Structure 1
Amino acid sequence: MKILIVKLSSLGDVVHTLPLVTDIQRYHEGALIHWVVEDEFSDIPTIHKGISKIIKVAFRRWRRTWFYAHTWRELWEFLRLLRSERYDLIIDAQGLVKSALVASIAKGPTGGFGFYSSREFVSSFLYQRRINVNKGIHAIDRLRTLGAKLLHYRFSSGADFGLFCSDQVSTKSIMLLHGTTWASKFLPEENWIRLSQLAENDGFQVLIPSGNDSDFERACRIASKGADLLPRLSLNALAKRIAGCAGIITVDTGLGHLAQALGVPTVALFGPTDPNLTGISGKYQLTLASSNLPCIPCLKRDCKFSNDDCKLYPPCFAITPEETWKTLQKQIDIKSQA
Structure 2
Amino acid sequence: MATPALELLFKHFPSAKFDYFIGYRPVAEIVRSYPQTRHIYLKRGGFETVRQIYELRKNRYDYVLITSGHSSWKSCLFANLLKTGCTIGDYEGNISFFDKATKRSRNSHRMTCNLLMVKNAFGINETTPAQPKVTISSPQNDAIIKEIVGTGKTVIGIHCGSRETQSYKRWPTEHFRQLLALIHQNNADAFFLIFATGTEQQEARVITNQSTHCSLILDKPLSIVMGLIQRCRLMIANDSGIGHLAAAVGTPTLSIFGPSDPGKCAPVGAHCRHIRAEGFCKPCIDGTVPSKCGETAECMAVLKPETVYKLVAGLLEETGH
SS at match of 1:209: strand
- For residues 216-267 of structure 1, give each alpha carbon's deviation from its aligned partner in whole angstroms, at most 9, with x where no partner exists: 1111111104122222223343233323322111111222222222221110
Taking only the aligned residue pairs, the percentage that are identical comes to 21
User: Does the aligned pair in 1 maintain the 2:233–2:251 contact within 8 Å?
Assistant: yes
User: Does the aligned pair in 2 maintain the 1:88–1:109 contact within 8 Å?
Assistant: yes
- Pick the aligned partner of 2:129 from 132, 147, 158: 158
2: CA distance, partners of 1:39 / 1:190: 28
Is it true that 1:174 corresponds to 2:156 in the alignment?
yes
> What is the one-letter code of the residue matched to 1:281?
V
Mean Cα displacement is larger for which, 258-267 or 171-180? 171-180
SS at match of 2:256: strand
User: Does the aligned pair in 2 maintain the 1:21–1:50 contact within 8 Å?
Assistant: no
Mean Cα displacement is larger for which, 267-276 or 224-233? 224-233
Aligned length: 298
Corresponding position of 1:46: 32
User: Does the aligned pair in 2 maintain the 1:269–1:317 contact within 8 Å?
Assistant: no
1:143 to partner: Cα distance: 1.2
SS at match of 2:196: coil
Once superposed, what is the RMSD of the aligned Cα atoms?
Answer: 3.2
Map 1:226-245 → 2, pairs under 5 A = 226=211, 227-245=214-232
1:334 to partner: Cα distance: 4.2
SS at match of 1:230: strand
2: CA distance, partners of 1:42 / 1:58: 11
- For residues 40-89 of structure 1, give each alpha carbon's deviation from its aligned partner in whole angstroms, at most 9, with x where no partner exists: 13112124x464223212234xx3xx5xxxx69x946x744x34544442
- Pick the aligned partner of 2:90 from 110, 113, 117: 113
Is it true that 1:298 corresponds to 2:272 in the alignment?
no
TM (normalized to structure 2)? 0.79
2: CA distance, partners of 1:276 / 1:292: 17
Gaps of 5+ in 1: 1-15
Corresponding position of 2:202: 217
Is it true that 1:146 corresponds to 2:146 in the alignment?
no
User: Does the aligned pair in 2 maintain the 1:38–1:57 contact within 8 Å?
Assistant: yes
- For residues 107-164 of structure 1, give each alpha carbon's deviation from its aligned partner in whole angstroms, at most 9, with x where no partner exists: 42212224628xxx7xx43x32222231321111111111110011134242232312
CA change 1:156–1:131 in 2 (3 A) is same
Gaps of 5+ in 2: none
Is it true that 1:253 corresponds to 2:227 in the alignment?
no
CA change 1:129–1:158 in 2 (3 A) is closer
Map 1:78-89 → 2, pairs under 5 A = 79-80=54-55, 82-83=56-57, 85-89=59-63
Mean Cα displacement is larger for which, 225-234 or 94-103? 94-103
